[in-house]
Amino acid sequence: MVSLDDIRAAAERVKPVARVTPLVDVSEAAGAPLFLKCESLQPGGAFKIRGAYNMVAQLTGDQRRRGVITFSSGNHGQAMALAARHLGAPAVVVMPTTAPAIKVEGAKGFGAEVIFAGTTSIDRRRRAEAEAAARGLTMVPPFDHEWIIAGQGTAGLEILDQLPSVGVVLVPIGGGGLIAGVAAAIKQLRPAVKVVGVEPAGAAAMKASVDAGHAVTLDKTETIADGLMPVRPGDLTFAHVQKYVDRIVTVSDPQIVDAVLWLFSKAKIVAEPSGAASVAAALAGMADDLAAGSPVVAIVSGGNMAMERLEELRRPSTHSGSSSRTSSGQAK
């Protein structure tokens, strides 16, 4: 399990590249004490730089010279490519064939070689492992590694520093790296603060795993939130969630779309659907009983969304789930 010392060391390590992102008060617009932790403003447009840089920075000189590889739906791939560029390492990113163009272009723009493989996290992991073995590359996994989790946990330290009165922290869940790190940081410093994970209803692998008492692999995932679609949580992230997370809730695609549009119109913040899931839960009052009037922080985990996508989300048909992505790559 990741210790508080691990997270504090990561905070020092990532200082050269990761920003201390702002905590924005949107209580008046939300009608309740609500603050947004804007990880969408990180280099690369998402929280992922924290974990990726923390890991690449700890590799040996030889490992960095030979290069690094990861498998990612987009944001982690961009973050690892950026970290690798800063630290002088060649980078390869394996992405799904359904990856949004803005994320593909971002990874390439940071100097990474991009390879496409299938539509599920399992597909791209297998291809990345094969490439790593064939080419002598070091794997930088997207979530299930102690260095990744420790790096993501630095966001939790910042929240406690920025808002000591926080009562609840809402965190989007994909593979679980962000919530594992944030929960480990918060619970080891302030056990009374509640940590709530948020998953799309069509991709709730972590909730299914917690309910079952062991990691569960879903047959498929289907959601508009392309960054929250792993069919299985990580073993290490699952263990952290079991130990530290108070609750996991699910939000529908229409609720996520509404949150994206609310953030844009009311808070003037661009958030991709994956990044807005936590806000969807906050606006639906899913943490009100735990907060008991104390401030809620929702982590806006990413903002990599093209303007054309925002226009698509404004169309009424989207609210019926018509633009959801599925693990098989089919549009619905």
Rg (CA), the chain: 18
Supply φ then ψ for residue 58, to 5 degrees: -95, -5
Residues 6+ apart with CB under 8 A from 184: 1, 2, 3, 4, 7, 149, 153, 156, 240, 244
Q: Respond yes or no: is residue 266 known to be catalytic.
A: no
User: Which 3 state secondary structure label does DSSP give 109?
Assistant: helix
Name the token pair of 217.
């692999």
DSSP structure class, residue 25: E
User: Which 3 state secondary structure label does DSSP give 245?
Assistant: coil
Contact 240, 183 (CB under 8 A): yes
User: Which 3 state secondary structure label does DSSP give 197?
Assistant: strand
Q: Respond yes or no: is residue 48 known to be catalytic.
A: yes
- First vs last C-alpha separation in the chain: 39
Residue of 40, 73, 209, 301 marked active site: 301
**Helices 49-56 and 75-87, axial angle in degrees (round to 10):** 40
Residue of 48, 187, 194, 207 marked active site: 48
- The bridge status of strand 23-25 relative to strand 34-38 is antiparallel
Active-site positions? 48, 301
